[in-house]
Amino acid sequence: MPPRDPIARQTLLVESLSRRGFMSVSDIAEETGVSEITIRRDLTELERSGTIRRTHGGALIARNGSANIYDIREPTFEARRRRNSDAKIRIARRAAQFVRPGHTIALDTGSTTLELTRFLGDVADLRIITNNTRAASLLAETAHPVYLPGGRVRGRELSIYGSTAASFVSTYHYDILFLGLSGISEAGLFDYSPEDSEIKRVFIQRSDLVVALCDASKFNRQAMVRIAALGEIHYLVVDTAPPDALRDAIEKAGARIIIAENLLE
């Protein structure tokens, strides 16, 4: 039976395109068991997000150069946390230098943003809003007030999402957003989860300064959901310089790249 949930259906559609390259609308409908009318509607949404590219009679995965890699499935949180852990600590340490006493901070989900919590306890008078329950648990041991939105908890990620959560985070104005992401390419910033991405977009809209955190394993990678364009962030904190074409695209969009120093405690 074909999936009725649009997110599950679109994930299946993207998986089919990733395996086979170009597919016609009729081929996609046959493989997924969904009507051609529904497929065309899904393709329109996925093209708007930058995930696929429509062609005459069909579609293919969007590429910005042959170096881009499309990630279909989200690794577990613990697997992501272990991957490039030293680099993530360096990135988090450098990102924390943006924080000043009195700031109201939006803290996104993700393994690198979680590392950032270890450096926030030493800064005075912060107010932190996050949908990252792991981060909230750690920050609750500091003197800072920490606010969690209401909503649904997403599986092993332990993030909070949904319309109630989005409404809650939209009521605040943030001095800084620390943004996690699963990939970055010339097409923009990407994430695996449509649910978390809704909250990320609200955070971006309500923040004066958007600081994205990204280790080198995410360069030239794309996932199901395009969070934002490159020009919607102010800084990208990384552990090493991006490839030349990606670096040029980021700088042309007006964002600054900051390379974290190789200093570990």
43-95 pLDDT, tens digit each: 888 887 667 778 777 887 765 544 455 555 555 545 555 556 788 999 999 99
Count of C-beta atoms within a 10 Å radius of residue 4? 9
Q: Are residues 155 and 196 in the same domain?
A: yes
Q: Are residues 44 and 88 in the same domain?
A: no
Q: Are residues 38 and 149 in the same domain?
A: no
Is 68 inside a domain boundary?
A: no
Write the DSSP assignment of 216-238 as a string of letters.
Answer: GGGBTEE-SEEEE-GGG-SEEEE
Is 171 inside a domain boundary?
A: yes
* pLDDT (tens digit per residue) in 91-148: 999 999 999 999 999 999 988 999 999 999 889 999 999 999 999 999 999 999 999 9
Nearest one of 84, 104, 111, 185 to 145, comparing CA atoms: 104
Q: Are residues 176 and 113 in the same domain?
A: yes
Joined tokens for residue 261: 């120093």
- Asked if the model's pLDDT at residue 189 lies above 70, the reply is yes
Is 1 inside a domain boundary?
A: no
Q: Are residues 32 and 118 in the same domain?
A: no
Q: Are residues 120 and 220 in the same domain?
A: yes
Q: Are residues 21 and 131 in the same domain?
A: no
Q: Give the CATH number for residue 36.
A: 1.10.10.10
Global pTM exceeds 0.85: no
Cα(111)–Cα(249) distance, integer angstroms: 25
The residue out of 62, 95, 110 marking a domain boundary is 62
The CA–CA distances, whole Å, from 165 to 109, 114, 115, 162 equal 13, 19, 23, 5
Q: Are residues 96 and 11 in the same domain?
A: no
* pLDDT (tens digit per residue) in 215-248: 888 888 888 788 999 999 999 999 989 989 999 9
Residue numbers of the domain that contains 51: 6-62
Contact 51, 225 (CB under 8 A): yes
Q: Are residues 52 and 86 in the same domain?
A: no
Instruction: Based on DSSP, count helices (H) and strands (E) in the chain, helices before strands.
Output: 10, 17
* Secondary structure element (H or E) that encloses residue 191, with its range: strand 188-191
Contact 229, 50 (CB under 8 A): no
Query: Between β-strands 58-61 and 23-24, what pairing exists: parallel, antiparallel or unpaired?
Result: antiparallel
What pLDDT is stored for residue 139 in this prediction? 94
Cα(245)–Cα(252) distance, integer angstroms: 10
Contact 120, 142 (CB under 8 A): yes
What pLDDT is stored for residue 261 in this prediction? 77
* pLDDT (tens digit per residue) in 6-34: 666 777 777 777 667 678 888 888 877 88
Q: Are residues 104 and 215 in the same domain?
A: yes
Is 230 inside a domain boundary?
A: yes
How big is the chain by its Cα radius of gyration, in Å? 19
Contact 230, 197 (CB under 8 A): no
Q: Give the CATH number for residue 164.
A: 3.40.50.1360
Q: Are residues 226 and 132 in the same domain?
A: yes
Q: Are residues 116 and 210 in the same domain?
A: yes
Cα(24)–Cα(85) distance, integer angstroms: 41
Contact 191, 200 (CB under 8 A): yes
Is 72 inside a domain boundary?
A: no
Is 117 inside a domain boundary?
A: yes
Is 219 inside a domain boundary?
A: yes
